Chains A and B, each alone.
Chain A
Amino acid sequence: VTACARCETALEPGDLRCAICALPVPAAAPPAVAEPRAQLLRCRDCGAAIGFSPEASAPRCGFCGQAMAIEQPIDPPEAAQLHLPFTVDRAAAEAAMRCWLAGRGWFAPRALASEAVLESLTPLSWAAWRVQAEALVAWAADSDAGAERSAWAPHAGQVPLVFRDIVVPASRGLRHAECRRLLPYYDWSTAIAVDREPLLGAIERFDILRSAARRTVQAAIEATARVRIQPHIPGRRYRNVRVACLVERQTTERVALPAWILIYHYRGTAYRALVHGQRADRVHGRAPLDRRKLALLVGLVGLVGLAAAIAKLALG
């Protein structure tokens, strides 16, 4: 079976139920029972009759302790299927970082670019899911269209939507906000199977179990649907946007996306920054702030406020 009979979502090896609609996957027909009879499960080592043991999560012999290997629940951590290659090499990433440090603006310490010490610059392919799906989306919302005494009037509708290339971060190492900043700049036409070409650096494991991953992906589809139906809401302003999705034909690919993770020290404190693995001009990260300049700014704002208050009092 390759697709769910109810929602046509692609099934993966080991699935007992469809991840989207929970329709059970048909099992192979059980062995025909010609004449029912009492049976025993016997230990393969000592031949004793054995029963299921919760500790072993399998039948285990009470005499010799031997556990029988049986099919276990399949909810595995998953591995990347596709990856995008690095097009920014180490030297370019380091240069991008130096350039980024030099351009941190007036509030950054003046000596940041010259005194920052690069501790590590590591290539990492971080984990994400790429999702394709179709859905019938029912929505309801308040908008200003048709409003009377209240500023809001209720509206509802239903619309079929096609979702292409929704990318959902699955990284444990990178923060969600960091992933969101990197995502728009990947060239998806370069995607290749993981086993076709060796990767530069490490590939992040999908630490999330399959069942938890599917909940995350579902939440991402709903969040995308909430944005995509907004053009269908009449009026200019809206609130309380609710969506209900009947997702069909969903496919999910596990992808690894390239980034350089760099750690640098400035006057004893470690900071992290990311250089996009395919665009050296996209660098994001934390940089120190010059406290004296900040204090100066706060003082100036205070003085201006004080002067304004005095002027107001003087003018009556």
Chain B
Amino acid sequence: MVDASATALPDAATFACGQCGASLRFAGVRTEACPYCASPNFVERPARARSPRPGLVIAFAADAARARQQLAGWLGSRSWFADARLRRARVEDLRGVYVPAYLYSAVAHTEYTASIGEHYTEIEMRPMRPMGETGEIGEIGEPVTEARRVTRTEYRPLAGRHVGYVTDVLVSASTGLAAAELAALEPFELGQLRRYAPALVTGWIAEEFSREPDGCRRASREAALDEIALELRRFLPGDSHCDLAWRTTVEWESLEPILVPVWVLAVRYRDDRPALRVVINGQTGAVAGRVPWTAWKIAAAIALAVLAVAAVLVVWHGAPP
């Protein structure tokens, strides 16, 4: 779950609990519950380049009970190939985490070249196959032609430009949640963004930013370029295209630190296997996790498929002598 570009967690610091004065260690988080009095403490630290203060936050929209319901629904809807014991799995650890992320936007100017395929039709004369002794068309061996309408493609070069804003590119800034895991939980409803305030995260785990902003900027830019590439393919005219080459310049890049709500769970479905990690979008309820497959079910399905193909072949060609 932790990739190579991740940086070390921010320095841990110890503060006195605001309620009972007990020592509280804030390691990579902005919030901590006191183990003695359960008071939800938060800490405001000066922003640093590697660990900025969040600018925006999406708040949790439902409680833990709702997250458990969403998990149960998701486990129940897994395919037949998934381990059947998943349906009776127990949740060992369920935590609501405000995960740090960056929201990227930019202006993108793209220059492209491509070969644009334009269809046209032609009438083509083709020799017909004789129909045999009782055939209605021609005698055996006599060349007979027929007119057929065929569609061909003419490729024409095109050079042009594409412009636009790239918005709402979200990348994880947490070493604990991989970019792919966050991507699996998207989209978040960004219309519900709020300005960050400790009141929105107190009582929950609010992680500190633990990835380098420069690395996140590069990852965001790559995601933005992928988005532009997809958009460019939809933008091109013609019936088809090939040899698409493009160069995109991004300007006015913005990388806004935000916190997004994620339920992180450990699901125990077998005592002899590690717990399955599942994440749930704390706003929309979307669930993501890598479901274990059952080897014998896959083997049985392959064997059945092979048997079915063999049976069809036998019926089609007749039994071997």
What residues of chain A lie closer than 8 Å to B43, measured between beta carbons? Answer: 36-39
* B237 and A140 contacting across the interface, CB-CB below 8 Å: yes
Given A58-B199, A154-B158, residue A38 in contact with residue B59 (CB < 8 A): no
B171 within 8 A of partner (CB): no
Using A24-B55, A138-B161 as known contacts, list a sample of 15 further A-B pairs with CB atoms less than 8 Å apart, ordered by residue number in A: A22-B103, A22-B168, A31-B44, A33-B46, A37-B16, A38-B41, A40-B40, A51-B40, A51-B203, A138-B162, A142-B238, A154-B156, A154-B236, A158-B160, A244-B163
**Is B74's beta carbon under 8 Å from chain A?**
no
Q: Which residues on the B side are within 8 Å of A136 (C-beta)?
A: 163
With the chains together, A151 CA to B122 CA distance in Å? 12
A50 to B201, CA, bound (A): 11
Cβ–Cβ < 8 Å partners of B316 in chain A: none
| Binary interface encoding of chain B residues 40-62 relative to chain A, with 1 for a CB under 8 A from any of its CBs, else 0 | 11111110000001011001111
Q: Which chain A positions have C-beta within 8 A of B201?
A: 52
With CB as the reference atom, state the residue of chain B lying closest to A135.
B163
Comparing A66-74, A282-290, A308-316, the segment that makes contact with chain B is: A66-74
The answer to whether B13 touches A36 (Cβ under 8 A) is yes
A271 at the interface (CB under 8 A from B): no
Query: What separation, in Å, do the CA atoms of A30 and B42 have in the docked complex?
Result: 15
Most chain-A Cβ atoms within 10 A of its Cβ — which of B15, B41, B160, B194?
Answer: B160
B185-205 contacts to A, CB under 8 A, are 190-195, 197-204
Q: Look across to chain B and name the residue whose beta carbon is closest to the beta carbon of A240.
A: B237
Q: Is the Cβ of B105 less than 8 Å from the Cβ of A22?
A: yes
Q: Which of A20, A52, A73 contacts B203 (CB 8 A)?
A: A52
Q: How many residues of A contact B (CB 8 A)?
A: 62
Query: Please, how many angstroms separate the alpha-carbon atoms of A245 and B163 in the complex?
Result: 6
Chain B residue nearest to A212 in the complex (CB): B191
Nearest-CB residue, chain B, relative to A41:
B202
Residues of chain A with a CB closer than 8 A to B237's CB: 140-142, 154-156, 239-242
Q: Indicate which residue in A24, A58, A156, A244 contacts B256 across the interface (CB closer than 8 Å).
A: A24
* Closest-CB distance, A32 to chain B (whole angstroms): 8
B296 within 8 A of A: no
Interface residues of A in 194-233 (CB under 8 A from B): 209, 211
Give the interface residue-count category, chain B.
Answer: 35 or more
Query: What residues of B have a CB within 8 angstroms of the CB of A123 in the complex?
Result: none
B228 to chain A, nearest CB (A): 10
Residues from 1 to 56 in B contacting A, C-beta threshold 8 Å: 13, 15-19, 24, 26, 32, 39-46, 53, 55-56
Q: Is the CB of A73 within 8 A of B191?
A: yes
Is A153 in the interface zone, CB < 8 Å from B?
yes
Q: Find chain B residues with CB under 8 A from A40 CB.
A: 18-19, 39-42, 202
- Are the C-beta atoms of A153 and B118 separated by less than 8 Å? yes
Residues of B within 8 A of A23 (CB): 105, 252, 254
Does B63 have its Cβ within 8 Å of any Cβ on chain A?
A: yes
Contact A158–B191 (Cβ < 8 Å): no
Q: Give, as a whole number of angstroms, the nearest-CB distance from A66 to chain B.
A: 14
Kindly report which residue of chain A lies nearest to residue B256, judged by CB atoms. A24
**A59 on the B face (CB < 8 A):** yes
Write the chain A residue with the least CB distance to B165. Answer: A21
Q: Which residues of A contact B164 (CB under 8 A)?
A: 244-246
**10 A-B pairs, CB-CB below 8 angstroms?**
A24-B254, A27-B55, A33-B45, A37-B43, A53-B63, A54-B62, A140-B237, A152-B118, A244-B163, A246-B165
Q: Which residues of B sit under 8 angstroms from A38, Cβ to Cβ? A: 15-18, 24, 26, 32, 41-43
Pick from B18, B168, B252: contact of A6, CB under 8 Å? B252
Interface string of B236-255 (1 = CB under 8 A from A): 11100000000000001010
Question: A229: shortest Cβ distance to chain B, in Å?
Answer: 12
